[in-house]
């Protein structure tokens, strides 16, 4: 079994993935759609990812291009982030 990745690194990767793909984690918390336990589980899933370098590169490129509609297929939190995404979103840096 592969050891989990750095908590700090994956916390920020998960936050960046949400923001870059139009998921407002703070609003999801306020709406009751995301509990602290849910968020901790998402970070833990991110820590188990086998592609953090690919993720970081994907995020860098996506942020430069103004965001992305969805997470890459290898994202451990793809389904959960999609479930938190509002019907209409504004991509990172676009109004």
Q: What is the pTM of this model?
A: 0.86
Q: Which domain holds residue 13?
A: 7-84
Q: Is residue 26 part of a domain?
A: yes
For 14, residues 6+ apart whose C-beta sits below 8 A from its C-beta are: 42, 43, 46, 77
Residue 63 confidence (pLDDT):
96
Residue 88 confidence (pLDDT):
56
- For the chain, 95 residues long, give each residue's pLDDT as a single digit of tens: 678 999 999 999 999 999 999 999 999 999 999 999 999 999 999 999 999 999 999 999 999 999 999 999 999 999 999 999 987 545 565 55
Residue 91 confidence (pLDDT):
56
Q: Is residue 94 part of a domain?
A: no
Our count of domains for the chain comes to: 1
Q: Is residue 95 part of a domain?
A: no
Residue 94 confidence (pLDDT):
57
User: ∠ at Cα 40 (37, 44), nearest 5°?
Assistant: 135
């Amino acid at each position: 079994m592969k050891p989990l990745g750095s908590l700090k690194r994956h916390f920020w990767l998960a936050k960046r993935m949400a923001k870059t793909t139009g998921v407002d984690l703070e609003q999801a918390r306020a709406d009751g759609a995301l509990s602290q336990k849910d968020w901790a589980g998402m970070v833990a899933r991110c820590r188990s990812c086998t592609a953090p370098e690919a993720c970081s590169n994907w995020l860098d490129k996506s942020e430069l291009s103004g965001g992305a509609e969805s997470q890459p297929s290898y994202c451990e939190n793809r389904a959960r982030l999609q479930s938190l995404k509002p019907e209409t979103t504004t991509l990172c840096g676009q109004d």
